Amino acid sequence: MPTRTVAVASRSGLHARPASIFTQAAADSGVDVTIATDGDDAVDAASILLVMSLGVPHGQEVTLSADGPDADRVLDELAALLATDLDEEP
């Protein structure tokens, strides 16, 4: 199962707006994706409640895992999204 480890760039971590953007992208990917912090169990990356329950602050590393035919592409896209400050206005 492919994985990616990335530091969360959003100033507020994975809370509110950044979590919403991330979980929507995970849900839209069509691939089963999980997210985990060091030492915690992986949770469904498409669930905003589960992602927010991780309490990921700015700069903390998370590990994404996916299973499916496009897993590598999806993980690359989601990792790039987390490496972006999603708190900034477009």
Distance CA 40, CA 72 (A): 23
Domains of the chain: 3-82 (3.30.1340.10)
CB neighbours of 20 closer than 8 A, spacing ≥ 6? 48
Distance CA 67, CA 26 (A): 12
DSSP character string of 10-48: STT-SSHHHHHHHHHHHHHTTSEEEEEETTS--EETT-H
> H or E stretch including 80?
helix 71-82
15 is catalytic: yes
For the segment 2-51, what is each residue's pLDDT rounded down to a tens digit? 999 999 999 999 999 999 999 999 999 999 999 999 978 999 999 999 99
Can you name the residues that pair with 35 across neighbouring β-strands? 43, 64
Q: What's the pLDDT at 70?
A: 94
Q: Which entry of 4, 10, 15, 29 is annotated as an active-site residue? A: 15
Q: What's the pLDDT at 41?
A: 94
Q: What's the pLDDT at 88?
A: 76
Name the pLDDT band for 89 (thresholds 50, 70, 90).
Answer: low
